[in-house]
Amino acid sequence: MLPVYQNQGKVAIKKDLTNIVKLSQALGDPHKEYKTIHVGGTNGKGTVSHMLASVLQESGLKVGLYTSPHYIDFRERIKINGDYISEEQVVSFIKKMKELISEIRPSFFEMTVAMAFEYFRSEGVDYAVIEVGLGGRLDSTNIISPEISVITNIGLDHMDMLGHSISLIALEKAGIIKTNIPVIIGEYDKESAPVFLKKALNSNSSINFASEEWSAENSCEKTIIRNKDMHQFVFSDRSRGPFFLKNVSTVLSTITHNTLNINKKHIINGINVFIKNTNYKGRWQWLSRDKNILLDSGHNEHALSKTLNHLNHLNYPKIHFVLGFVKDKDVEKLIKLLPSDGQYYFAKPSIFRGAKVSSYQQSMITRGLQFNSYLSVSSALEAAKRSRDKADLIFVGGSSFVVGEILEKIKR
């Protein structure tokens, strides 16, 4: 069994690029045979990756997309034009690489990255959008030389591995900035910006901050995003999540500063239908409009605070929160964000890293919040369904594993 970060945490992380280089060299460095876009950051990198892939796809290109983690099926990580890699191709790759895998014992992530790179070559993609797994500098995806690098934002997450300050985390994320390759930073932040500017200068790389280039107007029917040159894009409303505007601005800067000549229609269509085009799931996903059940896998302080603020503006009579966390998150900080008027249903995600409700329930009692604990995420959701009034919202989140368990149940 290969070490899997999703299940085991940081003990599964290999802190150098040795294994991925060996795997890639054995395959003939497949990632060098097509163009790539590299996307990192703390929050939003998965969504930005899916949006970019969709825009490229709308323009008529054959597009590979590598993201992580997966929610139900491992094959979610490796897609071409929205279609998963086949089970046969997964098995074939493992058989082909069996001896080398036994010899070097790569992590699950390292093996998956190599599989994606080889699959994209074998299928003849024009472009591949590659999402960073963790950090940037030592992430297995960082052997590519992309057409453009993207860093969405910096937040305090995975601090035990990346550093305990915004500037230290930014330094790790900045590791994907490469010599003479342009970089887009999604959000300007006074702590992280100097780190990115210095790295870009030393790398002779042009750098642009999407948040400084684009502004937005919102209404119930549409979203208008325009830059200082008054170029504007209008997007239809689809009950977007709290990060939609920032993610779209990052995508627009990436497209406009790349050498691709993609017309406006393809950009707008690509963003409007990116969920369908890329088989996107787990992030701001409505299970049913009639049943008012919303899933979101934001799991750190920055993501959850923005999500809760956005939920507050949706004007539901009451929100029922089905939540679970993992041990290596600062659960106490997350609990402090929870609104006092919610009803809470807690459960431990069914993985080794899952945090037991008993480990944080005293914080809930101290804050005077209304909550119950359950043996499983699915039983917590069923309890929320029984308790809520028809007009109430049920929000499911706290961890990608919580969201994954619900999606798995629905699939069955």
H, E, C per residue of the chain: CCCCHHHHHHHHCCCCCHHHHHHHHHCCCHHHHCEEEEEECCCCHHHHHHHHHHHHHHCCCCEEEECCCCCCCHHHHEEECCEECCHHHHHHHHHHCHHHHHHHCCCHHHHHHHHHHHHHHHCCCCEEEEECCCCCCCCHHHHCCCCEEEECCCCCCCHHHHCCCHHHHHHHHHHHCCCCCCEEECCCCCCCHHHHHHHHHHCCCCEEEHHHHEEEEECCCEEEEEECCCCEEEEECCCCCCCHHHHHHHHHHHHHHCCCCCCHHHHHHHHHCHHHHHCCCCCCEEEECCCCEEECCCCCHHHHHHHHHHHHCCCCCCEEEEECCECCCCHHHHHHCCCCCCEEEEECCCCCCECCHHHCHHHHHHHCCEEEEECCHHHHHHHHHHHCCCCCEEEEECCHHHHHHHHHHHHC
How high is the pLDDT of residue 253? 95
The structure tokens listed for 275 are 């969920």
How high is the pLDDT of residue 234? 86
**Confidence band, pLDDT 50/70/90 cuts, at residue 4:** low
**d(C-alpha 237, C-alpha 250), whole Å:** 18
Buried b (16+ CB within 10 A) or exposed e, 297-307: bbbbbebbbbb
Range with lowest mean pLDDT among 116-120, 156-160, 316-320, 335-339:
156-160
**Overall average pLDDT of the 192-220 stretch:** 92
**d(C-alpha 355, C-alpha 335), whole Å:** 13
How high is the pLDDT of residue 5? 47
**Overall average pLDDT of the 151-172 stretch:** 78
Average pLDDT, the chain: 90
Q: For residue 38, give the nearest of 126, 143, 109, 172 by alpha carbon.
A: 143
Highest mean pLDDT among 81-95, 143-157, 309-323, 358-372: 81-95
**Overall average pLDDT of the 21-44 stretch:** 96
Share of the chain above pLDDT 70, in %: 91
* β-pair type (393-397, 293-295): parallel
Range with lowest mean pLDDT among 65-74, 110-119, 281-290, 376-385:
281-290
pLDDT of 158 strictly over 60 = no
How high is the pLDDT of residue 16? 84
Q: For residue 16, give the nearest of 97, 104, 75 by alpha carbon.
A: 104
pLDDT of 139 strictly over 80 = yes
How high is the pLDDT of residue 164? 64
**Confidence band, pLDDT 50/70/90 cuts, at residue 197:** very high
Domains parsed from the chain with CATH numbers: 7-278 (3.40.1190.10), 285-411 (3.90.190.20)
Strand order in the sheet with 214-218: 214-218, 222-227, 232-236
**d(C-alpha 192, C-alpha 244), whole Å:** 21
How high is the pLDDT of residue 276? 94
How high is the pLDDT of residue 12? 45
pLDDT of 86 strictly over 50 = yes
**Confidence band, pLDDT 50/70/90 cuts, at residue 239:** low
Going from the C-alpha of 348 to that of each of 85, 250, 325, 377, the distances in angstroms are: 31, 34, 7, 7
* 33-61 tens-digit pLDDT: 999 999 999 889 999 999 999 999 999 99
pLDDT of 11 strictly over 80 = no
Q: What is the chain's length?
A: 412
**d(C-alpha 71, C-alpha 281), whole Å:** 8
Going from the C-alpha of 19 to that of each of 78, 105, 131, 302, the distances in angstroms are: 20, 8, 19, 32
pLDDT of 9 strictly over 50 = no
Q: Which residue has the higher pLDDT, 305 or 383?
A: 383
How high is the pLDDT of residue 48? 97
